[in-house]
Amino acid sequence: MTPFQQGEVPSAGLPPPRVASIEPPRAESEPPRPGPEPPRAGPDTSTELRPLTGFTVGVTAARRREELVALLERRGARVVEAPAIRIVPLADDRALQAATRLCLAQGIDVAVATTGIGFRGWLEAAESAGLADGLLSALAGARLLARGPKARGAIRAAGLTETWAPASECSQEVLDHLLSAGVRGLRIAVQLHGEPLPDFVAALRSAGASVIEVPVYRWVLPEDVTPLVRLVELVKLGYVDAVTFTSAPAAAALLEVSGAEEEAVLEAFRSGVLAACVGPVAAGPLARRGVPTLQPARARLGGLVRTLTDRLPAHRTRHVAVAGHRLEIRGHAVVVDGEMRTLAPAPMAMLRALVEHPGRVVSRADLLRTLPRSADGHAVEMAIARLRARLGDSHIVGTVTKRGYRLAVDPAEGR
């Protein structure tokens, strides 16, 4: 797993994250406990049902976080913000200077710009070291490959022109392009984007290329990891419906912060919480651990949101006809006859357990097991009472004396 370090340099100007106050639910009979709380269900402020209304989505992005949050919220999602990484310049730029001088001394045939911020940082560092003219000349004489539109924009802003860029914005497509054209005997400069690219570099060297790795910046954990720790807890308990990842280091950081809970977090992703990744590179740390990921056809932020909007409701929604009502159970809410009602985690746990057995009696003991911090059977009674109140019709959930509770499903539903 990629190592991350905390507190090495000041944060790179990122605004403080907006993260919901979160804590796993406790039974009503328990005293308050310190710790994170799940986003609380409050009064419904809107009856508008948008595609992601009723769903909670975690956002781990640092760069373009506000844009991603706005896109999700416009579609109705409740967002938990937990930036997983931040970009910092190298504390010691001697390695960058050495790589630049090597490019100038030996010449380069191909240069790969992986990110816009990294390519600009390389040129700025060269300017500070008095090497900018030589570097621009070397790059102008080389084939320039841009991994994506931001890298392409940085190349053009420097007065240069890219030779080729992949449609997918994926490092693997860049590698395939180089290998298919043949790289034996070529000297290739690869601008790294926050972490080494061992597989990429090794494949080029195995094919006969001489590779100069150009480290410009790196990814580290945020100075305050509390929001990320809270998101880990929400994922583990299933209180978020999806988590978005826009970079591989962000996915690796979430797993690193999980610590001893990593396997529980991975199992949550495997069994219900959607891991939505902007592309295959971002999905790498999760895919290598057997986590299925949701990805757009093209690695774009807008594509990620559209794909999530299309897939999440189908993945995390249940429909049932009960006591003359139509219920649509979403992530943290239930739509009753077209009207959304948000639910606290304990009542929602009751409803999901009852929906799993439509029309059948579910015992108090079985319901009790769905409450992570429940103390006794009284917690179930309180959660059922709150559920009935939120649903607006006490007949939806029936009591079976000395046995438990059941949904009063319409006859066709119970067959």
Q: Which domains does the chain have, with CATH numbers?
A: 56-85+222-315 (3.40.50.10090), 89-215 (3.40.50.10090), 318-414 (1.10.10.10)
> CA 344, CA 382: separation in Å to the nearest integer?
12
Query: Is residue 26 very low, low, confident or very high in pLDDT (cuts 50, 70, 90)?
Result: very low
Average of per-residue pLDDT across 277-292: 92
Which of residues 7 and 151 earns the better pLDDT score?
151
Question: What's the per-residue H, E or C state across the chain?
Answer: CCCCCCCCCCCCCCCCCCCCCCCCCECCCCCCCCCCCCCCCCCCCCCCCCCCCCCEEEECCCCCHHHHHHHHHHCCCEEEECCCCEEEECCCCHHHHHHHHHHHHHCCCEEEECCHHHHHHHHHHHHHCCCHHHHHHHHHCCEEEECCHHHHHHHHHCCCCCCECCCCCCHHHHHHHHHHHCCCCCEEEEECCECCCHHHHHHHHHCCCEEEEECCEEEECCCCCHHHHHHHHHHHHCCCCEEEECCHHHHHHHHHHHHHHHHHHHHHHHHCCEEEECCHHHHHHHHCCCCCEECCCCCCHHHHHHHHHHHHHHHCCEEEEECCEEEEECCCEEEECCEEEECCHHHHHHHHHHHCCCCCCEEHHHHHCCCCECCCHHHHHHHHHHHHHHHCCCCCEEEECCCEEEECECHHHHC
Residue type, 215: P
Q: pLDDT tens, 215-250? A: 998 888 999 999 999 999 999 988 999 999 998 889
Q: Would you say residue 142 has pLDDT above 50?
A: yes
Which of residues 6 and 313 earns the better pLDDT score?
313
Q: Measured in whole angstroms, how far is the alpha carbon of residue 3 from the centre of its chain?
A: 19
Query: Is residue 299 very low, low, confident or very high in pLDDT (cuts 50, 70, 90)?
Result: confident
- How much is the pLDDT for 372? 66
Q: pLDDT tens, 360-392? A: 999 999 998 888 665 566 889 999 999 999 999
- How much is the pLDDT for 60? 97
Above pLDDT 70, what percent of the chain?
86
What's the whole-number average pLDDT of the chain? 86
- How much is the pLDDT for 414? 52
Rounded to the nearest 10 degrees, how much is the dihedral formed by the CA atoms of 343, 347, 350, 355?
-30
In sequence order, the β-bridge partners of residue 405 are: 362, 399
- How much is the pLDDT for 237? 87
Which stretch of 48-52, 153-157, 317-321 has the lowest confidence by average pLDDT? 48-52
Q: Is 0.85 topped by the overall pTM?
A: no
Say if residues 265 and 235 touch (Cβ distance below 8 Å).
yes
Q: Would you say residue 396 has pLDDT above 60?
A: yes
